[in-house]
Amino acid sequence: MSAKPTARPAGAITDVAGLAVGHFTDTRRPTGCSVVLVPDGAIAGVDVRGAAPGTRETDLLAPGNLVERVHAVLLTGGSAFGLDAAGGVMRWLEQRGMGLPVGPVRVPLVPAAVLFDLMVGDPSVRPDAEAGYQACQAASSAAPAEGNVGAGAGALVGKVFGLSRAMKGGIGTASVRVGDVTVGALVACNALGDVVDPDTHRVLAGARADDGAPMDTRRALLAGQAPQGLLAGNHTTIGVVATDAVLDKPQAMRLAQVAHDGLARAINPVHTAYDGDTLFALATGRVPSHPGLLVLGAMAAEATARATVRAVLAARSLELSGQRWPAAHDTPVT
């Protein structure tokens, strides 16, 4: 039996200057939301890969559409109900004069994505506008908390063979620096599939075998083991990648697209019909030159993969209503 994996520091999305991250975690049940604030605004893009997404204000990020810059992105639990939290983020931004100038007012535009955590505890408890506002109030440029907080509070992973065999997911962050340019990621992982070490391919957290240790979902499926209890939209990994490089909207969208390569390295299976996997990209433009989109893409994929791994390594076990979902931190790894 090998040693338990640990959540080694890997940097944070707030290593990108000009960003702040805040979490709200609901103490009534495991759920919450997380906000990435960019007070000076950032060029934004998005890429939705999962077939069961829950999103808000994603169309405005398409190249060719009017809006160029946003001041916040929201990641939230609560399924589609959790999109209400974006209203609180809007209120917080409006109070500070941030948003798109439209005549005498500024309209804050808050792209958002949700994950499904309604099966964990009382489903009537989900993030609302006040939760979004409180996440903004808590925002800091310090490295954000990881694991069972914010949008990752109720996250589970490895649900292909039923919820009872799942393990605890969470939220994680990481960053990569090349020259003067930094790319960071914040990922809330509630995946249907397993989370694996991208370098060793060892399963870190996912569907569990009879002895409680993570099994290998990919191998089990290929061996003919049938999935059980699958519900559309009952999963999903969402996140934000950010850089201080100068990008336009098409380039920001491309960065979000390539960042999904990081999810593919760290989650198996990924982008399924039961997940709503969505990644946003933000570019603050504080560093005037960068090493090119090829290198930036490699950095984004790496940061996303590392943040996904940290989401489960920083998580802690959850026990609720007689059900226990262990975490990678305290589960034997063979």
| CATH number of the domain bearing residue 247 | 3.60.70.12
DSSP reduced 3-state for 84: helix
Q: Is residue 302 part of a domain?
A: yes
> Poorest-confidence range of 1-10, 13-22, 62-71, 225-234?
1-10
Quote the pLDDT of residue 1. Answer: 36
**Rounded Cα distance, 43 and 48, in Å:** 17
Query: In this structure, what token pair is assigned to residue 158?
Result: 């490895």
205-224: pLDDT as tens digits? 999 988 888 899 999 999 99
Domain count, the chain: 1
Quote the pLDDT of residue 229. Answer: 74
9-50: pLDDT as tens digits? 589 999 999 999 999 999 899 999 999 999 999 999 999 998
Q: Is residue 165 part of a domain?
A: yes
Indicate if the pLDDT at residue 52 is higher than 70. yes
Q: Is residue 8 part of a domain?
A: no
Q: Is residue 66 part of a domain?
A: yes
Indicate if the pLDDT at residue 165 is higher than 50. yes
Give the mean pLDDT of 84-89.
Answer: 98
Quote the pLDDT of residue 334. Answer: 46
Quote the pLDDT of residue 329. Answer: 87
Give the mean pLDDT of 279-290.
Answer: 94
| Domain housing 242 | 13-330
The residues, ordered by sequence, that sit 6+ positions from 240 with a Cβ below 8 Å of its Cβ are: 13, 36, 73, 75, 185, 186, 279, 280, 281, 282
Model confidence band, residue 59 (pLDDT cutoffs 50, 70, 90): very high
Query: In this structure, what token pair is assigned to residue 328?
Result: 């990678």
Q: Is residue 7 part of a domain?
A: no
**Rounded Cα distance, 145 and 317, in Å:** 16
Are 249 and 61 in contact, with CB atoms under 8 Å apart?
yes
115-144: pLDDT as tens digits? 999 999 999 999 999 999 999 999 999 999
Q: Is residue 306 part of a domain?
A: yes
> pTM (2 decimals)?
0.95
> Poorest-confidence range of 7-11, 162-166, 263-267?
7-11
